[in-house]
A = this chain, B = another copy of it.
């Protein structure tokens, strides 16, 4: 660990959801020694000053509410993304500018995915920059909150810029996989809009995906860290492997929860696990911290996807931004169906024929709602969210208040993932 340490009681604070008023001991001379809650105005002011948060006062207020009632695993008032919102916006802006200036033909594709307001949940870059700050003894310099205009193939020397590149690469890989998956699945909508393939045709969607993968590879290479390059290259292969597993499963695999979890790791959690680990490595962290980061990303990714699978049953199309029951309609049996099939074996033939016979989708939905499928999936998601939170709690102690705040935000994120409705 480089200059990171935390009082034992601060660590306990992070570990305990039941002790709202624990105080931090052993902080450095430069930081307040009062109980953490008392330190919050100072801390919030520091954030306001140094990170120039967008809508600073509202954010700060929410942030403090979060600290007064830290309830990991439950709904929280604070938006965990707020601590890194400005930085995320600069990363998004860099993405937009670089695509639009280099490949004007992809301008509409770039606008489509990266423009303000339609850029999705920004879960991945937020998680990554929070992880970066969680492991840092210093707040990011204000310089790093400006849009980085260095070319993609130029080696960034500053640690924070290198970590921002991981956020950028992760978002590019994620969007590329969405673009190709939508072409493969003939999807008509995405994020509440017409999908890019439906909007601009398969050609542009395939090319835009290829371009993002290529740009991700170039950006990754520019980091000149072979371990990080290996981690994120592996992810691209996992994404393809997951899509192929989904397309070509055997009968046994189609009804197997283990197979489903493995596929979910490949398709969703691997990117989050390996990008988190890359952040730790670029932060100069030792192997055990890199491994905890990986575990955080993996568990959060699995929890996120399991909730996604639940929402496909419980939310309306307008809330989801894509058709409800999309998985069933696409022939995919997710966790709620697989659990339900244990109670209602009649689901098995429907799963095997990929819900293709008339009324299969409706019948499967009914049986899922009559079963414990949703509840058991939610419990599984909560287990993984809990393990994600524990990975943060197990991080080596730190006295840096901003790091503590970001660790708390990551824990809040594990709760937010469980309670999201879209």
Contacts and interface: CB of A to CB of B under 8 A. Distances in A.
Contact of A243 (B207, B230, B247, B248): B207
Interface in A332-367: none
A65 interface: no
A241 interface: yes
A34 interface: no
Main secondary structure of the interface of A (DSSP, over half): helix
23 contacts: A103-B241, A103-B244, A104-B248, A105-B247, A105-B248, A153-B230, A180-B207, A180-B210, A184-B202, A184-B207, A202-B202, A203-B247, A207-B243, A210-B236, A210-B239, A217-B217, A217-B237, A218-B233, A218-B234, A218-B236, A218-B237, A226-B226, A229-B229
A240 interface: yes
A105 B202 CA distance: 23
Interface string A95-109: 000000011111000
Given A103-B241, A180-B206, A217-B236, 13 more contacts: A103-B244, A153-B234, A180-B207, A184-B203, A184-B206, A184-B207, A207-B243, A207-B244, A214-B236, A215-B237, A218-B237, A221-B234, A226-B226
A420 interface: no
Nearest to A243: B207
A313 interface: no
Contacts of A233: 214, 217-218, 220-221
B202 A214 contact: no
Contacts of A214: 233, 236-237, 239-240
Nearest to A185: B203
A159 B213 CA distance: 28
State the number of copies, please: 2
A183 interface: yes
A121 interface: no
A218 B207 CA distance: 21
Contact of A240 (B183, B207, B229, B244): B207
A222 interface: yes
Contacts of A236: 210, 213-214, 217-218
A282 B239 CA distance: 30
A410 to B, nearest CB: 28
Contact of A247 (B207, B229, B240, B244): B207
A241 B106 CA distance: 10
Contacts of A218: 230, 233-234, 236-237
Contact of A221 (B183, B230, B240): B230
Contacts of A234: 153, 218, 221
Contacts of A184: 202-203, 206-207
A110 to B, nearest CB: 12
Interface in A223-282: 224, 226, 229-230, 233-234, 236-237, 239-241, 243-244, 247-248
